Amino acid sequence: MVSIDVECVATGVTHNDREVAQIAIVNAVDEKVLLNVFVRPRSSVVSYMTPLTGITRETLEAEAVSFDDALAMVRRALPTDAVVVGQGVLKDVQEWLKLERGVDYGDLIDLTGIWRVWNERYKSWSVFSQDHLVTCLLDDTEVNASHDAAGDCVKSVRLYRLFLKLKEDAAGLASAHAKLLATPPEPSFSKRFPSFEGVCQGNRKTCACGAPFFS
């Protein structure tokens, strides 16, 4: 089992103008980093969105490889029968990396799904960002503070291991669910910065760029 995370930079001003700039793979058993590679976007970068991605121009200029080279590294590092866990991992694996289930990896587990909670007040499922899950459930200042692809992989690994542990502890899982519902989430990056360095962040309520939403 591994975790995969992809970070993107903005190559235009709409919320759909993104290209892969970092890929990380972390072993879910021992948290060993199997791959952490920076990727050179094919288009010119409009914003590195550093507070969100942890990526800087200096890092890409010094360390980035082509997307094709990075993808070859991913395939070498990723066992073809691996179960991949992560937050919104389907988009990372299939949309950004174009990997195929049953060919490049075995299966996917999305934290958004396993940590969703039935909200009796609204009679619907509540889903949570990785930041909210980490804030409520993980007591590790160092890992909580990190924000890049490799750091987010470690967060995903720990959140998944916690879920497995609490599956056998009904009271503990119920307590975790209650905390997730009761704790007000911090405003997301897109709420705090509907536009950052001239780039739309895709907040549905404040989007002004006119680009479509696909999910």
Domain 2-200, CATH 3.30.420.10 — does that match?
yes
pLDDT in tens, 112-171: 999 999 999 999 999 999 999 999 999 765 555 667 899 999 999 999 999 999 999 999
HEC secondary structure over 164-205: HHHHCCHHHHHHHHHHHHHCCCCCCHHHHCCEECCEECCCCC
- Which tens digit of pLDDT belongs to each residue from 82-100? 999 999 999 999 999 999 9
Q: Are 3 and 153 in contact (CB under 8 A)?
A: yes
Of the candidates 143, 126, 123, the one whose C-alpha atom is nearest the C-alpha of residue 3 is: 143
